[in-house]
Amino acid sequence: MIEDKNPRRTPLSELGEFKLIEHLTDHFKVTHKSTVKSIGDDAAVLNFDKKQVVVSTDLLVEGVHFDLSYAPLKHLGYKALVVNLSDIYAMNAVATQVTVSIAVSNRFPLEALEELYAGITTAAQIYNVDVVGGDTTSSTSGLIISVTAIGEVEKGAEVLRSGAKPNDLLVVTGDLGGAYMGLQVLEREKEVFKVNPNNQPDLSMYTYIIERQLKPEARKDIVELLKELEVKPTSMIDVSDGISSEVIHLCKQSKVGVDLYEAKIPLDPQVISTCEEFNIDSTTIALNGGEDYELLMTISQEDFPKIKGNPNLTVIGYMTEEDRGMHLVTRADEKIPIIAKGWNALKDQA
Ligand code: ADP
Ligand code: MG
């Protein structure tokens, strides 16, 4: 589906491991004071003085987490960083360094890895993180990418999943369900392409949701906004699996219940129209579709005037006493228990 605009194919065996690492990494610059020693030694040296350090890691496996028939390598490199940075921001922390490890089969030429690293480099620049290390090895099957993200947060400023209290407001950033519907469109086009490879799909109606799937963004801006507004959420989590499973994490770890209002869930018009086209309920997608990488948080009622009217933040419900349970309040004012389906389970339905 993706046109090969880069016909040069340099076999990795031509370079060898050390030349390859050098080729992929020698342009990375150090921008953070906390990076004392970056790529090139047995380990990186970091110094955070009195700041607390947060660390998160993720593994992406070809055929499980991505499909190279429609995910361009540049976007994949970008996404691999973004999904990790999202976890750092969900702690209310600033991301500062990443390590990137790859396992590649020799069906990948050097040019493919250059594309992957172009995406990694762009994300590192945009999110202002230093790439301080990694590992490079061969794989007998597909491509595997593992990223570890490191960040810093002042003592006491970290936001855990466990701090929500009854009556706190449930707030979500951006809009939901886009990445999942983008995936549905891409999967459909892949099937069409298999039947007729000459068919050039017109995807102009779906640009927003396809971008949400292939090139998601992490909400670094929200951590900055919350600081500006002087709001410290009582709990927070990033939306990687869909808000129903994320809100359950907040409730269980905070020992509270929730009333989440269907009518308040923020949806982009492209999500609504694509759901209609695919004949899927948009609320189901918003609740269970994955990979939106928005932030779901609870804030104290006292802070409501500070966030009121902010276009980045939508109040979608409030927390209750634990024994009241976890419910979706529908448009018809019915209360339905929230259960976690997650996007994997959804796959069987769609
Ligand atoms: P070692 O043999 O000690 O694992 P390597 O030769 O694998 O060392 O790595 C040399 C340096 O290059 C180290 O600083 C390592 O962190 C870095 N590095 C290796 N692979 C990558 C990669 N894919 N991306 C970024 N840095 C890497
Ligand atoms: Mg190594």
Dump pLDDT digits (tens) for 7-39: 789 999 898 889 999 999 999 999 999 999 999
Please check whether the domain covering 168-337 is classified as CATH 3.90.650.10. yes
Q: Return the CATH architecture of domain 12-153.
A: 2-Layer Sandwich (3.30)
Domain boundaries, the chain: 12-153, 168-337
Q: What is residue 29's DSSP assignment?
A: P
Ligand 1 pocket, Cβ-based, cut-off 6 angstroms: 21, 24-25, 39-42, 100-102, 131, 133-136
**For residues 89-107, average pLDDT:** 96
- Are residues 36 and 47 in contact, defined by beta-carbon separation less than 8 angstroms? yes
Burial status of residue 118 (CB atoms within 10 A of its CB: 0-12, 13-18, 19 or more): middle
With bands split at pLDDT 50, 70 and 90, how would you rate the model's confidence at 312?
very high
Mutation pick for ligand 1 pocket among 97, 135, 148 (CB with most ligand atoms within 8 Å): 135
Question: Do residues 66 and 183 make contact, with C-beta atoms less than 8 angstroms apart?
Answer: no
Name the residue with higher pLDDT: 349 or 153: 153
pLDDT band at 4 (very low <50, low <70, confident <90, very high): low
List CB contacts of 117: < 8 A, sequence separation 6 or more: 24, 25, 77
250 within 8 A of 298, measured Cβ to Cβ: yes
Identical fold at 12-153 and 168-337?
A: no
Which pLDDT score is estimated for 199? Answer: 79
Q: Whose CA is nearest to atom 8 of ligand 1?
A: 42
Please tell me the distance between residue 135's alpha carbon and the centre of ligand 1 in angstroms: 5
- Which pLDDT score, from 0 to 100, does residue 339 have? 85
CA distance 59 to 83: 10
User: Is 241 annotated as contributing to ligand binding?
Assistant: yes
Torsion of CA 247, 253, 259, 263, to 10 degrees: -10
Above 70 in pLDDT, residue 241? yes
Residue 271's Cβ-count burial label (10 Å; 0-12, 13-18, 19+) is buried
